[in-house]
Structure 1
Amino acid sequence: MADSQDMFDAIVMADERFHGEGYQEGYEEGSSLGIIEGRQYGTLHGAKIGSEIGCYQGFALVWKCLLCSCASEKDSRKMKVLESLIEMIQKFPYDDPTYNKLHEDLDKIRGKFKQFCSLLNVQPDFKISVEGPGLSF
């Protein structure tokens, strides 16, 4: 009778056992795929942010050379804004994705860049495309 009781319990508990095993397998598979997908997403968006910051930095360094070569008093405000932009870019935490003010600092850099472009009277159009990053005027 004990043998038939064990067989009966095995049949009744099979659903629960299979449910638990299926859940565990699904959880492990989902965790693995989640890590892969998260890494791809982070790489893509990190590259976009890096490309954008790189364009700002290149733009700022070129204008620094241009403004230094023909420095006049009317360019002093431009130089102050430009130096502020360069300083913000240099302090940007490129290697710390867990930095909690990353997007806030990025928005400040974008704002400072727009301010500088306004002083220069140029209209920037920053686009990230399949061909690569670009900054046009």
Structure 2
Amino acid sequence: MAAGEELFDSILLADEKYRGEGFREGYQRGTRRGLQGGRRHGAAHGSRLSSEVSFYHGFATTWTCLLDHSSDVKSRKRMKALEALLALIQDCPLDDPQSATLQNNTEKLRAKFRQVCSMLNVPTDFKEYVHTAEGMSF
């Protein structure tokens, strides 16, 4: 009867053994897929943010060049706002995606951009001019 009990125990233990192995294998696969998905998600969002900030930088630099030789009061105020926008771009911690201030700085940057556009009487909707990161390849 001991052989029958051993057979029964081996069947029960086999179920536990294979269930444990299946769990570990599934957990490892899920972890790998989660990391891969997280990397793709982070790269896409990082690319979009970088594209947006680059657009703001080009916009501010262009308008700074255009207003550089103007001396009236409105132009000086606009230049000051453009310089503030460029300073915000410089202070934005784009090289550190885990920065606690990245979200706050990005919101300030967007608000300053809207303010500058208002001062320049330029519409803030540039979606048709800015291409999303989906068309980019590295």
Say yes or no: TM over 0.5: yes
TM-score scaled by structure 2? Answer: 0.87
Look up the match of 1:103. Answer: 103
What is the number of equivalent residue pairs in this alignment?
A: 132
Moved more, 3-12 or 22-31: 3-12
3-state SS, counterpart of residue 126 of structure 1: coil
Unaligned runs of 5+ in 2: none
Deviating above 6 A after TM superposition, structure 1's stretches of 4 or more consecutive aligned residues are none
Query: Which of the pair is proportionally richer in strand?
Result: 1
Greater RCO (Cα-Cα under 8 Å, separation 6 or more): 2
In the TM superposition, residue 80 of structure 1 has moved relative to its aligned partner by 1.6
TM-score scaled by structure 1? Answer: 0.87
Structure-1 separation of matches of 2:24 and 2:44: 30
Structure-1 separation of matches of 2:102 and 2:55: 18
1:112 aligns with 2:122: no
Q: Encode CA deviations 1:88-124: one digit per residue, 9 max, x unaligned.
A: 0011111111111211111110000000000011112
The answer as to whether partners of 2:60 and 2:85 remain within 8 angstroms in 1 is yes
Unaligned runs of 5+ in 1: 133-137
| Percent of paired sites with the same residue | 43
Look up the match of 1:73. Answer: 73
